[in-house]
Each structure stands twice: as structure tokens, then as C-alpha cells.
Amino acid sequence: MYSFLTTAPWPDYELIDSGNFEKLERFGRHVLARPEPQAIWDPHLPASEWQRANATFTREKGSQEKGQWKLKPGTQEQWVINYERPGGLKLRFRLGLSSFKHVGLFPEQDPNWQFIYKQTKKRQAAVPRVLNLFAYTGAATLAARAAGADITHLDSVKQVNFWARDNMEASGLDGVRWLVEDAMKYVKREVKRGSKYQGLILDPPAYGRGPNGEKWQLEDELNELLKLSQQLLDPQDHFFLINLYSLGFSALILDNLVTEIFPKTHTTREIGEIYLHDQGQRKLPLGTFCRFAT
């Protein structure tokens, strides 16, 4: 089943406008303008609205990612926002203006955070074991932990794990297992140990480096990673979620991989695209996903 997921209305976040390869967003009380390569259309709002942004990101010459923020007087470089959904999911996130245009949160993942929370609560295991790979600043980790999971959070960047720990404490949670590791090496060891998980969350980047310089290239590693992931799932009691942000990976590629590697008995399987809609009702695509559960 091909699906489209989008973020439901959320008091502390909105995509105000998009266009000219940029997006205009509000996180709490701060409005930010930053690059977005998928927004190839014209903006809906006039330039005067974009000029009201508290912070605007400009790329360095010759760089696709790195750059700097221009802040209006009184704008904080770090602040905290609230996130709350029906059913009891309440989290808080510390945001910050990084030199790579990111702020520490991907709001389009809201429907997946809700999926993780609900599916963790549905597991038969008294304390479901969940593994979050390429876990970044921990929103998915905290959704699982808030639902009672024994959660392992793995990311290759130590500073990012510190950021995720701040989010955990801000959310009034504890008990997360933090690992600074290369994801492939860890998963291979877990398979050899015969470890099983009731939940598995994958959010791999298009490219990256492990803590010891290990090279990660999505197209080279994804097939093997999914095969190993299949071996880690509890055969009778599990949920699985993967997100891909690489522009070169369509949902059809992901569909082929998942169909080939995982059992064909998941009637709940969803696969498709994630997007945000702005005030002009344009749909801004922000990646592909696949998720299923027993």
C-alpha cells in the first residue's frame, strides 16, 4: 500500500511557506528561513514575510550543506519547544542553529513518532526491546522510551548523543542506553550474539562517517543492513520503521528491498513518502519511509 504521511497541526511548529529552494518555518517563537532543495516552485507569501524571519541560513560558496546563520538582534541560538499528541505522548526538544542548516529536529517525522509510541505499547513483551540506529538527537528514541521500551540509542557522533540526552532530561525521561558506534559493526555483532528486538528504527543518512572514520554510503550498505535487521527482529512480536532522505532513493526502491528481504505476511505494511504542507497547501516532499508491525 503506497501512502503519504504528513504532520498534523502542532502548536510549536508550522511550515509557513516554501519556494525558491527554501522553506520558512516556525519553531516555537522563532521563525527560520533555510535552504530546501525540493522546493522548486515560487513562494506563496511575499518577500516581506520572509524578511521577518528571526534567523536566515546562507550556504557557503561551493557547499551544499555548510554555511552560517544571520540572526536578528535578540534571537537565541538555542531554545526549547514542546511536543504533545493524543494518547499521552509528551516530549520537549532543545533546538539549536547548526552550521549545517539543521536545528536538531525533523518535524515531518511526527507521524512516525506516533507510530513508534503506539506500536511500542502494543508489543506482547512486558518490556519491549527497541533499537534506534542513526538516532541523531533522539526524538524517535524518546517516543519509544515514553511508551516503556528498553531502548538502545546509537549514533556515531558523540556530541549528538549529548544533545539527545538533553532532550531526554527535558522530557522528564531516563533509562536510555547510549552508544557511540558504527551502526553496521554493531548490528553484525548483535546478529552473532543472537539478539532479538521487538522494535527496530532505522534513519540512515545518504553518506557519513563512523566514530573511527568508517565510511557509510547508503546505496552500498542498505541492502546488507536490511538483511541484518531482518535477523534481529523478534519473529512473533515486532515493529519496523525505516526513513530515507536521499533524493536518489524512491519509494519503489525501498519497496523492492523490503519485499525481497522481509516476510510477505505483514498486512499492515505502509510504504511511501513523507511531506509537510505549507500555508499555501503545497506539499513539500521530505523523504521516503516503510513501516510495518506484527
Q: Where are the alpha helices (DSSP H) in the chain?
A: 47-50, 110-122, 139-146, 158-170, 183-193, 218-232, 251-261
The C-alpha cell of 115 is what? 507510530
Check residues 216 and 145 and name the one with the higher pLDDT.
145
Residue percentage of the chain with pLDDT more than 70: 96
Summarised one tens digit per residue, pLDDT across range 45-100 is 999 999 999 999 998 876 666 889 999 999 999 999 999 999 999 999 999 999 88
Over 90: is that where the pLDDT of 215 sits?
A: no
Residue percentage of the chain with pLDDT more than 90: 86
Over 90: is that where the pLDDT of 195 sits?
A: yes
Mean pLDDT of the chain: 94
Quick one: pLDDT at residue 144?
Answer: 98
Domains recognised in the chain with CATH numbers: 9-78 (2.60.40.1180), 101-293 (3.40.50.150)
Quick one: pLDDT at residue 92?
Answer: 98
Please check whether residue 57 is in contact with residue 101, taking contact to mean a CB–CB distance below 8 angstroms: yes
Is the pTM higher than 0.85? Answer: yes
pLDDT bin (cut points 50, 70, 90) of residue 214 is: confident
* 127-147 average pLDDT score: 98
Over 70: is that where the pLDDT of 1 sits?
A: no
Q: Which among 221, 281, 269 is positioned nearest to 249, based on CA atoms?
A: 221
Report the sign of the C-alpha dihedral through residues 242, 245, 250, 253, in that order: negative
Over 90: is that where the pLDDT of 223 sits?
A: yes
